[in-house]
Each structure stands twice: as structure tokens, then as C-alpha cells.
Amino acid sequence: MAHDVIVLGVFAGDAIFEAARLPVMGETLLGDSFSLGPGGKGSNQAIAAAKAGANTAIITRLGDDAFGQLAHDTWEQAGVVPLVRVMPDESTGAAFIYLEKGSGRNAIIVCPGAATGLAGEDMDAQAEAIGGAKVFVTQLEQPLEAAQRGLEIARAAGVTTILNPAPAQHLTDEMLALCDILTPNESETEILTGLPVRTLEEAEAAAYALHQRGPKHIILTLGENGALWYDGQHMRTIDPMEAGPVVDTTGAGDAFNGGLAAGLASGADMRESLKFATAVAAISVTRKGAGLAMPSYADVAQFLNRSNM
């Protein structure tokens, strides 16, 4: 069965600690709350796309452990099809997430575990699935080799490619040229371009510089300020949306990318898909957690209907 959206990425068990501030080295703090749930950028994006209505599969590696079982349980509930290689002697990914009490801002440490071994061979093994998709999405929590090979297979098959360049790192022009859509945030853009992104004018200059390196569309996400879209001809701002009080921003970028993939896979144009993605992200930050915070298609449709009234 062909899938609308294929996501390459990492699953991680998220250990979320909420506190007023981060401890300094050698200090112990009492936190306000703790929770354990599903995370990892690739998994979050796959869940977001699936819940937003796209027939979605994820390519990754897991360990044969409790977090691996959490991954399967989570994907089954969300409707994500696992295209997974289980590594019995390795652990599933895990993440430490600090959540700042009151603001919802976060700081994260990710250990990809078994997914650290993802390679070109994993992509070649799933070449038929990738080539049969409408949209292929990847990020940079797994090795670059796997991400680039996945993009190559998708591009050769005429599949729309989305690269969310996170965590931030330097990328070759060869890899960027494989991207139909590049979706960095401000800090990722600064690392990719060497340019500051503190104002809208600076963001526009950075988006132009990135486009010159090969991607067809630059979607520079600006957090509470929305996003900037440059397609080589027009520079457009995407207005932010507010769905309620901000509780947790951990999965906001993943919600946006998954929603964008789902929108494009449904046949919507870029403008409508960006509006849809913005709504998915807006709803996600009103809920705690990452994968568990992703809204359903019905949630998004209801929110957009209210917003248009």
C-alpha cells in the first residue's frame, strides 16, 4: 500500500522536567512536574501528519526495549505505519526535556540510540515505499548519510521533499539542492547562512541566501511571529495563529512540518498548506508533550473554521 507521507527520523522517549529554571553545574533543584511520553522529531512529525489526515509511515531503527514498545503503541494509536528495523542489542532513543514553568520554553538533549545507525542501506531497503509517496520528510537527528540518501531516492521518483534542518548543522549545497522545501528556524538559519536573523529584514536576506543554494522553497519559521516563505520570486509572511494559552512549545516545529506535509499530500497548494501547518502548530503548543500534543484533523478544521468566521 502506498503512503501519502514518508518520514525518516528518530523516536525518543521524552523525559520532561518542568521547573522555574535550569540548575547550574553541581546544583540540585526541586522540579514542579515530570512526565514520560513519546518524542523524537521524526516520530513527532509522522504523528502530526497522520493525525492531520495523511496516510503516513515512518522509517527508523528502534531497540527491543520499553521505549521501543512505547513507539509502536504510540504509532498504532496515531495511525502511523512503522517501517522499522529493530536492533536487539541497542537502546531506543531518549530525550531530556527541560520545560520552563510559566513560559513553555524548552531546552533539550537527545540521544538517538539505535537510530544513530540509520544509513543509506535503510533508505535503499525502503526505496519502493519512498518512491510511492507524495511527500518525503526528514530532519537531522539521524546521520546525514541516511537523510541525503532518502532525499536522493525521493527526488529521483518525483516525490516532494521536505528537509527540516534540525538539530542545526552545516549542510552541503548538494544536499540542499535535493530539497523542494527547507524549513529552518532562526537559529538553524543563522548556522546555515552565517547571517543574523533578528529582524524581518535580516530574515528575508537569510531566506534569499538559502534559496541561492538550491532549495525551491524556503520556509523560515519565526516562532510566535509566524513564518517567512520565499519561492525565488516572492517573499511572503505567514501570520501566526493563536489557539489558546501557550503551555509547551516542545513539538511546535514538528507539528508545523507534519501539518505542512499533510496539507501538501492532500493536494492543497503551498499557501493553503502553510495555513494548515500554522494551525496544527498553534493547537499543539496549547497542550503538554510533543507527540501526544498533535491535534486531529477535526481539531484543525474546527479551529480554522472559527478563525475564518
Domain ranges of the chain: 5-22+33-308
pLDDT at 120 over 80: yes
Share of the chain above pLDDT 70, in %: 99
Mean pLDDT of 72-78: 97
* Nearest-angstrom CA–CA distance, 8 and 15: 22
pLDDT at 288 over 70: yes
Residue 8: the pLDDT is 98
pLDDT at 76 over 90: yes
* Residue scoring higher pLDDT (113 or 291): 113
Encode pLDDT of 160-207 as tens digits: 999 999 998 999 999 999 999 999 999 999 999 999 999 999 999 999
Which residues belong to the active site?
A: 254
Domain 5-22+33-308 carries which CATH code? 3.40.1190.20
Read off the pLDDT band of 309 (50, 70, 90). Answer: low
* Nearest-angstrom CA–CA distance, 186 and 32: 30
- Using CA atoms, how far residue 228 sits from 19, 219, 272, in Å, is 32, 6, 14
Read off the pLDDT band of 292 (50, 70, 90). Answer: confident
User: What mean pLDDT, rounded, does the chain reach?
Assistant: 94
Read off the pLDDT band of 223 (50, 70, 90). Answer: confident
Q: Greatest CA separation found in the chain?
A: 54
Encode pLDDT of 232-256 as tens digits: 999 999 999 999 998 888 889 999 9
Residue 104: the pLDDT is 80
pLDDT at 103 over 90: no
* Nearest-angstrom CA–CA distance, 55 and 3: 5
